[in-house]
Every structure is written in structure tokens, then in C-alpha cells.
Amino acid sequence: MNHAEVQLYERRSLTDGYPNLQQIGSEYFAAHQADPSTRYIDEVLKAIDVLLPPAAEVRRIAVTGCGQDPHSLKRLLEQGYVATGVEPIEEFVELARQAVGERERVLLGCAEGLPLESGSQDVIWLESVLEHVDSVPKSLAEAYRVLAPGGLLYVKTTNRWRLSLLGTNHEFRVPFFNWFPAIVKECYVFAHLHYKPHLANYTPRPAVHWFTYPELCRLGREAGFAHFYSLLDVLTLDSAHMSGSFLRRTLVRLARRNLWIKALALSQVGGTVFMWKRAK
């Protein structure tokens, strides 16, 4: 710990964490967010159409952890879905309501306690959230409760096995962080929250959970979900994600024919999973 860090905590309780981290994080996110692309959202919706039977009515979708600038929620509303955002940070709720222009479309709540009726949603959208929650089992159990029979939970989260150029990841400014032992990760989380908030881009809720595909399936089964589908199962070969890459299409074809190749591929794309709730 350097002299500045010592000075920072001479007259403050350690449990207070880094001063004004939530405000700093909000300002950092607003200043650095990328210009949103809706292509991946449309790809997810195509995957949902592959997995669910044709809807007699407009599908009801809840976006958990929608954030202060809810790109996914806005796109879903534009596409005509009955979409509702849920956000745990009160200041972000108000900003999200302003962004979508409808106050009733964004509710204050968290993944472990969704302010929605049981069986009221056809799809739960859990993107870049599960790695940040306090309790993964409670979050999945809440998603299961809120889903109607035959509903679908879409999860996009961290992948502990993913390889990337120079070991980069979207959560920590530490190369190969996802490969670190759990005890080392905890040390970095502590340093981020108390002394070095730049480590995880000034977020007040850094990624503390890192998953593999089989772990996500196991946790989903424990919550009650019955079937699990990866990107390899649901992406169509003529989709925007696949059409521009011959290598990608070839690898997906091979993975669908050979389960060992599929398992190897899932080590890299296994951070995305669709969990299906039994219809009866």
C-alpha cells in the first residue's frame, strides 16, 4: 500500500470502501460506453425464435440489470416486445426511465429479488449480470420463478476458460484474470473496492463469479431448468454472426457432428447459455 492509500484510510472506516465509487463508476461508464450495435440483440432474438414455439401474443421479456443506458431494453421495445427493465441502482433507474421515455418500463429491483409476478414473463434477459450478483443460486431461482412454463432464460456472462489476445477481458484491467486462482481473484476484488478502483473500470460491483459452461448447466439444473442450449446449438449458419466467416461456419458444422469438438468449442463460447423451463 502506498502513502496515498494509507492517507486515504487514516480517518475512514474500511467498510466504507473507496470514496464515491458508485458516482465515479457511473460517470466513467457514461463517458466510455461504446456506440451500441443492435446486431447481437437481433441475433439473440432469432435464437429465441428457434427455441420457443411461435408466440400467439407479443412476448413478455424482462431485462435484469438493464443499466442507466438500457440498449437491450430500448431495442426490444422498438421491436414491439412487452419489455420491462429491472435495475438495482436507484440513480440508474431514473436515468433508464428517461432513456426509454416510459417510467413504468423500468423497475427498481435486483436479480435476487425481481419485482415481477411469478410466471409473468416469457423470457428473462440476463446479460453481463450473473458475474456481478451477490448470489448466483438466488438469481437463477428468481428467474425460474418469474418465467412462465415453457419460458426461456438467456444468460451471457464471464467465461473462466476463454482465451483472448494478450489475455484481455472485459471485466478487469489485468491480463489473464479469468485464469487466476479464486484466492488471487479475491485479492484483486478487495484491492479494487478499497484502494485501486481502476482495476475493474471503477464499477461498484465488480465481476466476482467466473463460470464454465458445465458449471452454468449445473447451476441451472439446481434452480429447476430442464434443457440447456449454447450458441453452437441456436445460431443459424446464415445469421449475421456466421455469414461473414467461412471458418466460423465450418467450425460450427464440425461441432454439431462431433461432440468432442463441440466440447472444445464450448470452452471458448460457453459463457452464453439459454436455459429452458419445462412447460409442465
Please write the tens of the pLDDT for every residue from 139-195: 999 999 999 999 999 999 999 999 998 899 999 999 999 999 999 999 999 999 999
Which residues lie below 8 Å from residue 5, measured CB to CB, with a gap of 6+?
195
Query: Smallest Cα–Cα separation from 21: which of 225, 194, 256, 227?
Result: 194
Burial pattern 242-276, b for ≥16 Cβ within 10 A else e, equals beeeeeebebbeebeeeeebbeebbeebbbbbbbb
Q: What is the pLDDT of residue 235?
A: 84
H-run or E-run covering 184: helix 182-194
Helix axes 213-223, 136-146, angle to 10 degrees: 60
Q: Interior CA angle at 17 toward 135 and 94, to 5°?
A: 65
Instruction: Convert the pLDDT of each residue in 185-235 to its tens digit.
Output: 999 999 999 999 999 999 999 999 999 999 999 999 999 999 999 999 998
Determine contact, residues 151/124, Cβ cutoff 8 Å.
yes
How far is residue 134's CA from residue 112's CA, in Å, rounded to a whole number? Answer: 8
Burial of 25 (0-12, 13-18, 19+ CB in 10 A): buried
Q: Is residue 1 scored above 60 in pLDDT?
A: no
* Residue 55 or residue 154, greater confidence: 154
Which residues lie below 8 Å from residue 275, measured CB to CB, with a gap of 6+?
140, 143, 152, 153, 155, 220, 223, 225, 227, 228
The owner of cell 438500457 is: 70
Q: What is the pLDDT of residue 174?
A: 97
Instruction: Convert the pLDDT of each residue in 57-91 to its tens digit.
Output: 999 999 999 999 899 999 999 999 999 999 998 88
Instruction: Convert the pLDDT of each residue in 13-36 to its tens digit.
Output: 888 889 889 889 888 988 877 666
Instruction: Convert the pLDDT of each residue in 80-119 to its tens digit.
Output: 999 999 999 888 999 999 999 999 999 999 999 999 999 9
Determine contact, residues 140/215, Cβ cutoff 8 Å.
no
How far is residue 204's CA from residue 18's CA, in Å, rounded to a whole number? Answer: 9
